[in-house]
């Protein structure tokens, strides 16, 4: 897998300053950062971290991110993890194609939408949580658990975004809310078999995302580490 801290030191000494993204093809948090990097038209090196093999729990990886989650972005000799923090970092460092609107209230709505996805949906259905539920309550309990939390979050998003949505989640520009929503809707449909008929706004947004190359290129089926069985 993955670089060790030694390799990071080497990279800081080298002339190569390209960004490195530690990512897993199916990870929705990595998916967010892939979209953000693509929207900013930033070139990056993709470093696969296989969650199913536990590579994120290795001591080498935990030197990059002590909590043992992907994604991690390495910029020269600086490593930053957590998709929200990474998005804020690249937003400030690379101001082209802004992810946040100027208007303060619309900006706050973007934070609200992104935080519902990351704090009230995805964090309740990540691999560690689902493995824990499978162990304590049985493997059949993981899907209803995940669906319950996705539905709850989607119901809230559907309700409050209707006052702000245009072509995209908070207007006619792609912004941070879209960067977080697209992977969550994608995984709700493909991984958690969620019936999206109750969520017409989110379904319409999902169709709009599928038209954007920066979103399409970031999809799980288009990554370096996507297994061939998942690409057909």
- Would you tell me which residues interact with ligand GSH (CB under 6 A)? 27-29, 51, 56, 69-71, 82-84, 118, 126-128
Instruction: Identify which of residues 165 and 169 has a Cβ nearer to ligand GSH in the complex.
Output: 169
Instruction: Identify which of residues 38 and 84 has a Cβ nearer to ligand GSH in the complex.
Output: 84
In whole angstroms, the minimum distance from the beta carbon of 216 to ligand GSH comes to: 19
In whole angstroms, the minimum distance from the beta carbon of 91 to ligand GSH comes to: 15
In whole angstroms, the minimum distance from the beta carbon of 72 to ligand GSH comes to: 9
In whole angstroms, the minimum distance from the beta carbon of 101 to ligand GSH comes to: 21
Tokens representing residue 94 in the block: 């690379």
What are the backbone angles phi and psi of residue 41, rounded to the nearest 5°?
Answer: 55, 45
* CB contact burial 54-71 (16+ within 10 A = b; e otherwise): ebbeeeebeebbeebbbb
Q: Which residues, at least 6 apart from 200, have a Cβ–Cβ distance to it below 8 Å?
A: 158
Instruction: Identify which of residues 112 and 126 has a Cβ nearer to ligand GSH in the complex.
Output: 126
Instruction: Identify which of residues 61 and 171 has a Cβ nearer to ligand GSH in the complex.
Output: 61
Burial class (CB within 10 angstroms; exposed 0-12, middle 13-18, buried 19+) of 205: buried
Alpha-carbon distance 174 to 182, whole Å? Answer: 11
């Amino acid at each position: 897998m993955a670089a060790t801290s030694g390799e990071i030191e080497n990279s800081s000494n080298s002339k190569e300053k390209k960004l490195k993204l530690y990512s897993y093809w199916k990870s929705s948090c990595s998916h967010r950062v892939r979209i953000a990097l693509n929207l900013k038209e930033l070139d990056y090196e993709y470093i696969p971290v296989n969650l199913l093999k536990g590579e994120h729990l290795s001591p080498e990886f935990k030197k990059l991110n002590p909590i043992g989650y992907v994604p991690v972005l390495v910029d020269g000799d600086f490593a930053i993890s957590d998709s929200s923090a990474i998005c804020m970092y690249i937003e400030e460092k690379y101001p082209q194609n802004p992810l946040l609107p100027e208007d303060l209230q619309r900006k706050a709505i973007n934070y609200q939408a992104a935080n519902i996805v990351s704090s009230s949906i995805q964090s309740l259905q990540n691999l560690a949580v689902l493995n824990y539920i499978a162990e304590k309550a049985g493997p059949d309990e993981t899907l209803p658990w995940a669906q319950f939390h996705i539905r709850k979050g989607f119901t809230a998003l559907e309700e409050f975004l209707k006052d702000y949505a245009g072509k995209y989640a908070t207007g006619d520009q792609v912004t941070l809310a879209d960067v977080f929503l697209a992977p969550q809707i994608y995984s709700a449909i493909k991984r958690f078999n969620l019936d999206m008929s109750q969520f017409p706004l989110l379904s319409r947004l999902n169709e709009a995302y599928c038209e954007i190359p920066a979103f399409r290129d970031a999809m799980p089926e288009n990554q370096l580490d996507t297994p061939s069985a998942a690409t057909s």
